[in-house]
Amino acid sequence: MTFRLEGRVAIITGGARGIGAETTRVFREAGAKVTTWDVGDPADMKVDVTDADAVRTAVADVVAKHGRIDVLVNNAGILRDAQLIKLRDEAVTGGMSEADFDAVLDVNAKGMFICTQAVAPIMIKQGSGRILNASSVVGLYGNFGQTNYVASKAAVIGMTKVWARELGPRGITVNAVAPGFIGTEMVRQMPERILATMVEHTPVRRLGEPRDVAYAYLYLASDEAAFVNGTVLSVDGGVVVGT
């Protein structure tokens, strides 16, 4: 059995690189018409997911071109890692800034809210749709030095479950994917000792690849996942997040 998306119209946020770019490739191979949104190049449309007016305009453009929206992959996200507080000799010497906390929540959580709220009315009129949200294994288990990122990815899980209840009766399923340590270009530039620790904490003893996550999105977008709603699918190799 091959999961297919012939004739489906999809929007993938954060689609210029990494998991978003790979999901775009996989969806197009499966027959979908994909529009990628990103704040950088290359993307089909330059869209800041924190800008509600820009998102609404971009949604209208996709509908004008294709007549419908069948799949929204809320993949856009950023990192601004830091410990809550840093101590030296029991004295506080620094910590996560309020600006970095706000920036991550704005993109990873509020941006997802803005995009979903803009696309949902289109799907409601159609009586069908798939909304797929990027969470993370750290949203389930927490992680050292990632207060803002963990908060945003835990929020994604909560919003997914709310929207699954609200939109399910309208023929729209809402699910989340929680990747573990994925070997994107950014991750592979980390020091070897950090990469080795990631592999050590992953029982299958390798980093995930962007395609591992992309195929999870493909399944959830397909007809074969029609009865899957409100779930969080971990794509993590059985990872145990350390401290």
Exposed/middle/buried for 41, CB within 10 Å: 0-12, 13-18, 19+? Answer: exposed
Question: Among 51, 171, 52, which residue's Cα sits nearest to residue 120?
Answer: 171
Active-site residue, selected from the candidate residues 141, 149, 215, 219? 149
Spatial distance between the Cα atoms of 83 and 144, rounded to a whole number of angstroms: 7
Spatial distance between the Cα atoms of 133 and 157, rounded to a whole number of angstroms: 8
The yes-or-no answer on residue 149 being catalytic is yes
Question: Among 133, 139, 145, which residue's Cα sits nearest to residue 172?
Answer: 133
Question: Among 1, 6, 8, 4, which residue's Cα sits nearest to residue 130?
Answer: 8
The residues carrying an active-site annotation are 149
